[in-house]
């Protein structure tokens, strides 16, 4: 008998050693697709200075154009979440990637229209991009929940959440050079073409864990045994889709309210950096757009480092303490405290100090980029898509308000000073929400009979 047990142990060791790691390849694809997603949100900020000069657009008009994406993104969150709760996330993701990339490409053609139609056409195209992109972060959550065990989920979420910084490092310098050397049109044509090509690769390479040809039994067993929801896709379509009224379980919970406030505030920071930040460096600090393309990479690298550290710190805290609350809240609170430092840019003229402060702020924002893991940890499994959709709505309302408020303040004062106070206040409020409102994190459960036959 001991010999048999020893043989079995050796066999198990061989299986474990031979385990594939396809989940990290999947994570890399998610990261790239999400980086293109964020690049397509930021491309107007790179093209914006030249575009506004050529088309005669003022700061208020640009503020509304920057917000067009977020209006649709908010409207699309719940429908997008419902679609993901009903249909295969991988297929929805690939189709959305192709469509929003085509719409991005078309933004490069708006100057061919009569001048009276240009602003409306650009607003509509960016609105449609926002609506089509709405399911992407909920889809990321679904894919990560299927491919990663609980103990690795904080790291995986931090990786794809870092896409905003990857987008700046990979794409902003290229977009800056294209705008400077050719014209602003090429910014949209480049990003649109890249996304459409990636969508074809996505359909070829992406599958659920139980259907992926490169996943071996050892990796599949590892995922099953450690909390990965590998069959989350196969269950779709076999049961009635959740009713929209099911989200009441989220709105009636103080913990979720605090999480939504935190997401609103951190997204306000994000929208400053992907909309007005390059224009702040050009108009507020006298740089040209090509210089901005390269200078902006340093804060982005710091943001990426903070995001990676967020995942590592969160997973290590979870392993050492066993407390999801500490593991998720500590990085967020520290990160938001650091992000408040960007307000000190109002008290210096040194571009080096400004870049340093913005780098620290983005490092802090990256460190706090744990919200999607919090949603996965706290959402009832039947409505993960809708829960993430509500989370996205809470955040992207800031995407509507922040660019418009900054546009009006810049137009009225001719400077960005008030804008920086406004953005820094978001970080302070987010920190207080997680300290005073959220409380202990726990998974919500659906009531046994939450709704009557009519879905009320």
Of residues 273, 7, 321, the one with CA closest to residue 151: 321
Which residues form the domain of 335? 21-230+247-436
State residue 451's pLDDT score: 45
Position 424 in a domain: yes
Average pLDDT over the chain, rounded to an integer = 81
Alpha helices in 322-383 (DSSP H): 324-339, 351-367, 371-378
Position 11 in a domain: no
Q: Rounded CA gap, 426 and 442, in Å? A: 25
% of the chain surpassing 70 pLDDT: 87
Find the mean pLDDT for residues 292-318: 82
Please state, as a whole number, how many other Cβ atoms lie within 10 Å of the Cβ of residue 64. 16
More confident residue, 85 or 65: 65
CA quadruple 290, 347, 425, 364: dihedral, nearest 10? 60
Measured between its terminal Cα atoms, the distance across the chain in Å is: 61
Is residue 429 classed exposed, middle or buried when 0-12, 13-18 and 19+ CB atoms within 10 A define those classes?
Answer: middle
Position 451 in a domain: no
Find the mean pLDDT for residues 229-247: 63
Position 9 in a domain: no
More confident residue, 431 or 318: 431
Q: Rounded CA gap, 15 and 20, in Å? A: 10
Q: Rounded CA gap, 41 and 28, in Å? A: 20
Find the mean pLDDT for residues 259-267: 92
For the ranges 126-130, 226-230, 317-321, 337-341, which has the lowest average pLDDT?
226-230
Of residues 394, 381, 78, 168, the one with CA closest to residue 262: 394
Query: pTM above the 0.75 mark?
Result: no
What domain count does the chain have? 1
Category of 350 on φ-ψ map: left (φ > 0), alpha (ψ -120 to 50) or beta: beta
Whether 206 and 29 have beta carbons less than 8 Å apart is answered as yes
Of residues 192, 172, 195, the one with CA closest to residue 47: 172
Position 236 in a domain: no
State residue 421's pLDDT score: 94
Token pair 């929209």 in the structure block, residue: 244
164: domain CATH number is 1.20.1250.20
Please state, as a whole number, how many other Cβ atoms lie within 10 Å of the Cβ of residue 117. 11
Find the mean pLDDT for residues 55-73: 81
State residue 208's pLDDT score: 77
For 143-168, b/e burial (b = at least 16 CB within 10 A) is bbbbbbbbebbbbbbbbbbbbbbbbb
| pLDDT, tens only, 353-409 | 988 898 999 899 989 988 877 887 887 766 766 777 788 788 888 888 888 898 889
Helix 384-413 vs helix 417-436: angle between axes, to the nearest 10 degrees? 150
Of residues 60, 42, 99, 105, the one with CA closest to residue 76: 99
More confident residue, 436 or 455: 436
Find the mean pLDDT for residues 255-262: 90
Is residue 292 scored above 80 in pLDDT? no
Q: Rounded CA gap, 304 and 310, in Å? A: 10
State residue 98's pLDDT score: 94
Position 34 in a domain: yes
Position 237 in a domain: no
| pLDDT, tens only, 79-133 | 777 777 777 888 888 889 999 899 999 988 887 878 778 888 888 998 898 888 8
State residue 232's pLDDT score: 65
For 15-34, b/e burial (b = at least 16 CB within 10 A) is eeeebbebbebbbebbbbbb
Whether 268 and 66 have beta carbons less than 8 Å apart is answered as no
Position 168 in a domain: yes
């Amino acid at each position: 008998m001991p010999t048999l047990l020893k043989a079995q142990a050796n066999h198990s060791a061989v299986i474990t050693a031979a385990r594939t790691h396809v989940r990290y390849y999947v994570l890399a694809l998610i990261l790239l697709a999400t980086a293109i997603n964020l690049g397509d949100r930021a491309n107007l900020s790179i093209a914006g200075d030249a575009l506004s000069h050529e088309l005669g657009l003022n700061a208020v008009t640009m503020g509304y154009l920057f917000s067009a994406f977020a209006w649709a993104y908010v409207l699309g969150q719940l429908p997008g979440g419902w679609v993901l709760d009903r249909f295969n996330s991988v297929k929805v993701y690939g189709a959305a990637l192709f469509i929003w990339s085509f719409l991005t490409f078309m933004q490069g053609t708006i100057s061919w229209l009569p001048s009276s139609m240009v602003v409306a056409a650009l607003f509509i195209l960016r609105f449609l991009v926002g609506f089509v992109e709405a399911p992407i972060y909920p889809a990321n959550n679904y894919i990560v929940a299927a491919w990663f065990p609980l103990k690795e989920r904080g790291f995986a979420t931090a990786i794809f959440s870092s896409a905003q910084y990857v987008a700046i490092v990979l794409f902003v310098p290229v977009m800056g050079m294209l705008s400077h050397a050719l014209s602003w049109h090429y910014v949209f044509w480049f990003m649109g073409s890249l996304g459409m090509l990636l969508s074809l690769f996505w359909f070829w390479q992406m599958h659920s864990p139980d259907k992926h040809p490169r996943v071996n039994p050892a990796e599949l067993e590892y995922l099953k045994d450690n909390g990965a929801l590998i069959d989350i896709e196969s269950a779709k379509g076999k049961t009635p889709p959740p009713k929209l009224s099911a989200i009441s379980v989220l709105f009636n919970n103080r913990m979720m309210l605090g999480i939504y406030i935190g997401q609103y505030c951190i997204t306000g920071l994000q929208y400053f950096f992907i909309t007005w930040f390059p224009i702040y460096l050009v108009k507020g600090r006298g740089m040209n757009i090509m210089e901005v393309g390269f200078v902006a990479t340093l804060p982005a690298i710091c943001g990426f480092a903070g995001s990676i550290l967020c995942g590592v710190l969160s997973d290590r805290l979870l392993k050492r303490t066993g407390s999801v609350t500490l593991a998720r809240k500590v990085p967020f609170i520290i990160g938001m405290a650091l992000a408040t430092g960007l307000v000190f840019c109002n008290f210096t003229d040194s571009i080096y100090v400004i870049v340093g402060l913005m780098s620290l702020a983005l490092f802090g924002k990256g460190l706090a980029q744990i919200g999607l893991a919090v949603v996965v940890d706290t959402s009832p499994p039947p409505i993960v898509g809708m829960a993430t959709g509500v989370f996205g709505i809470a955040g992207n309302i800031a995407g509507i308000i922040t660019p418009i408020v900054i546009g009006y303040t810049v137009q009225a004062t001719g400077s960005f000073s008030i804008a920086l106070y406004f953005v820094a206040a978001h970080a302070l409020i987010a920190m207080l929400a997680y300290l005073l409102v959220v409380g202990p994190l726990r998974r919500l459960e659906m009531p046994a009979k939450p709704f009557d036959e009519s879905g009320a």
